[in-house]
Amino acid sequence: MNTLKRTFIGVWALTIAAGTAVAADMAYPEKCKANMSSGGDMAVQSQEMSGPSEYQKQLMDGMKAMNMNMMQGMMQKDADVSFICGMIAHHMGAISMSEAELKHGKNAQAREMAQKIIGAQKQEVAEMTKWLNENAD
């Protein structure tokens, strides 16, 4: 099984294990789902044979760091601290993904969204870090 497929399966398993529920009005778009079954989409099969692109490698590295930090943060005994630590890691993951978009993406609108995400998420990380420094033991 290739790295890309293992990563998607690992993230899916972590999501299920964490009991994450998504609101019905926020269903994951079908266009975002890769066909991972054998005999599926030719682009996916080609991807499996050639390996992940540089962009996908950058995304996977960021996702690995985010998942590791989120899991560590969520092991905190205090629910508020656990939430804040998990969200800091989550926001840092969004920043990492957005930076990959700015480096590799071509669409002006997608790049603009990435830039907005970086600004907003950095501000929120700073706010949460301040809260953590003032409230966590």
Same domain for 124 and 83, yes or no, is yes
Same domain for 86 and 131, yes or no, is yes
**128 vs 10: which has the higher pLDDT:** 128
Question: How high is the pLDDT of residue 32?
Answer: 84
Helix, strand, coil fractions of the chain, as percent rounded to 5: 75, 0, 25
Number of domains in the chain: 2
Question: How high is the pLDDT of residue 113?
Answer: 98
Same domain for 90 and 122, yes or no, is yes
Q: Give 75's contacts (C-beta < 8 A, 6+ positions apart).
A: 82
Same domain for 6 and 45, yes or no, is yes
Q: What percent of the chain has pLDDT over 70?
A: 71
Q: How far apart are CA 89 and CA 69, in angstroms?
A: 6
Query: What's the whole-number mean pLDDT along residues 69-79?
Result: 93
Same domain for 32 and 47, yes or no, is yes
**43 vs 130: which has the higher pLDDT:** 130
SS3 state of residue 136: coil
Same domain for 12 and 45, yes or no, is yes
- The closest alpha carbon to 122, from 94, 103, 102, 101, belongs to 94
Give the confidence band of 26 by pLDDT, cuts at 50, 70, 90: confident
Same domain for 76 and 124, yes or no, is yes
**DSSP string over 21-51:** ---GGGPPPGGG----STT--HHHHHHHHH-
Same domain for 90 and 123, yes or no, is yes
Same domain for 15 and 46, yes or no, is yes
Q: Give 8's contacts (C-beta < 8 A, 6+ positions apart).
A: 34, 36
* Residue 42 lies in domain: 1-52
In this prediction the pTM is 0.71
Q: Is the pLDDT of residue 9 over 70?
A: no
